[in-house]
Structure 1
Amino acid sequence: MQKGIFISVEGPDGAGKTSVITQLLPRLADYGKVVTTREPGGVPIAEKIREVILNPEHTGMDDKTELLLYIAARRQHLKERIEPALEAGNILLVDRFIDSSVAYQGFGRGLNPADIDWLNHFATDGLVPDLTLYFDIDVEEGLARIAQTRGHEVNRLDMESLGLHQRVREGYLSILNKQPDRLVKIDASQPLEQVVADAWSVIETRFFKD
């Protein structure tokens, strides 16, 4: 069975992940079939869970409830989207994966990282991306980008305190420090063209250069 390439993309809110992914697609397509997806979501059941998580009316959601909803969405996404794409030998590009739970619910919410690691392993059967691109940006700059691009559309996480978003960034930097072989830091404060160029350089060097 041929195994595909699994690349996840992570970063604080406003890091510009979606824009970079869009511009990476035609370059990746030169090397095989590309499948893109996101978390939470990517498949119908997980998209329904996403709606519950991000609904701005759900301000009373308990932190552990939030975590478990993300984990449930991840499991369904894995079975319906991620595993089939990899088994077919595709290049899989996922907007957020296991590291988001560690950064947001672990560092951001203060939940036990060991519990999150266990739940992630349980949900994914231990699957880990071949490469994770971490797009780093100052929290205030990232939130300003969101306010500018989304206009009046606000989800529940956008309503969180600046402190939470700062802890999330600290969480990502901690993961980067612990797993430098898998995670590669990209400066997302640069112009989009340079961010894309840096991201592509990492991908090309890792997978497509002899």
Structure 2
Amino acid sequence: MIGRFLSLEGGEGAGKSTQVRALAAALEARGFPVRVTREPGGSEGAEAIRGLLMQGDVARWSAHAETLLFAAARADHVEKVIRPATEAGIWVITDRYIDSTRAYQGAAGGIDDAAILALHGFGARGLLPDRTFVLDLPIDEGARRAAARDGALADRFAMRGEHFHAEVARGFRAFAQVEPDRFRVIDATQPADRVTADLLAGLADLLP
């Protein structure tokens, strides 16, 4: 059995974590072995870096430093979790991957996309998902959902302003336009079960 690598992307409050679990359950019901993971994190080393990235003041790290930390976490994640799983025939679904760095530190943070991809080529050996889903949601609705979810426990990225998150959203849409074979944009304003159905429909060409 061929393992596949899927990523779910999107702004704050888009429902990525919920849909990762729902998609995993739907694939398992069809008989596929599935491994759910996340970024930053997913491996022991990457989870240690996650604490550095997600906690503290918004200005704790510059966009350059964040990019390097994400690249280090991702290198460990790919080496220890993603590649071994897919090589063993497992479908890996990650909540965020390289395109989040491209959107947050790149499109919104000002880091050159080519530099981010060069780091990815070195650290993660350029591994890209077989399919990337962008859960698209208006900024104000995402902020409302994230606030309801996190309350006073919002992380360093959720606490950033509306302009930052608008740039993140524009970044994701731009990536999807450039790479239509890899990306599928999903309307995340729909009921959760409809979003899951659209995710499955977006995998039709990868399913045996």
Name which of structure 1's ranges 52-61 and 83-92 shifts more when overlaid on structure 2: 52-61
Match of 1:206 in 2: 205
Q: CA deviation at 1:113?
A: 1.1
Match of 1:117 in 2: 117
Aligned residues: 207
Equivalent positions of 1:119-158 (< 5 A) are: 119-158=119-158
**Cα distance in 2, alignment partners of residues 121 and 199 from structure 1:** 27
Q: Is the 8 A contact 1:4 1:91 kept in 2?
A: yes
Matched, 1:51 2:71: no
Q: CA deviation at 1:19?
A: 0.8
Helix, strand or coil at the partner of 2:158: helix
**Cα distance in 1, alignment partners of residues 27 and 2 from structure 2:** 16
Match of 2:106 in 1: 106
Q: Is the 8 A contact 1:34 1:93 kept in 2?
A: yes
Point out where structure 1 has 5 or more consecutive residues left out of the alignment. Answer: none
Helix, strand or coil at the partner of 1:56: coil
**Cα distance in 2, alignment partners of residues 57 and 101 from structure 1:** 19
The one-letter amino acid of 1:207's match is L
Identity of aligned residues (%): 37
**Cα distance in 2, alignment partners of residues 60 and 127 from structure 1:** 29
The one-letter amino acid of 2:126's match is G
Match of 1:19 in 2: 18
Name which of structure 1's ranges 150-159 and 177-186 shifts more when overlaid on structure 2: 150-159
CA RMSD of superposed structures (Å): 1.3
Q: Is the 8 A contact 2:21 2:36 kept in 1?
A: no
Equivalent positions of 1:7-86 (< 5 A) are: 7-29=6-28, 30-57=30-57, 59-86=59-86
Residues 126-184 of structure 1 deviation map (CA, whole Å, 9 limit, x = unaligned): 21111111111111110110001112212111221111100000000110010001000
Q: Is the 8 A contact 1:7 1:129 kept in 2?
A: yes
**Cα distance in 1, alignment partners of residues 98 and 61 from structure 2:** 21
Q: Is the 8 A contact 2:117 2:126 kept in 1?
A: no
Q: CA deviation at 1:200?
A: 1.4
The one-letter amino acid of 1:66's match is E
Residues 42-61 of structure 1 deviation map (CA, whole Å, 9 limit, x = unaligned): 11111110100111236231
Structure 1 consecutive aligned stretches of length 4 or more whose deviation exceeds 4 Å:
none
Q: CA deviation at 1:31?
A: 3.0
Residues 38-94 of structure 1 deviation map (CA, whole Å, 9 limit, x = unaligned): 010011111110100111236231211111000000000011101110110101111
Q: CA deviation at 1:3?
A: 4.2
**Cα distance in 1, alignment partners of residues 102 and 127 from structure 2:** 15
Q: Is the 8 A contact 1:9 1:93 kept in 2?
A: yes
**Cα distance in 1, alignment partners of residues 161 and 108 from structure 2:** 10
Helix, strand or coil at the partner of 1:118: helix
Q: Is the 8 A contact 1:52 1:58 kept in 2?
A: no
**Cα distance in 2, alignment partners of residues 123 and 3 from structure 1:** 24
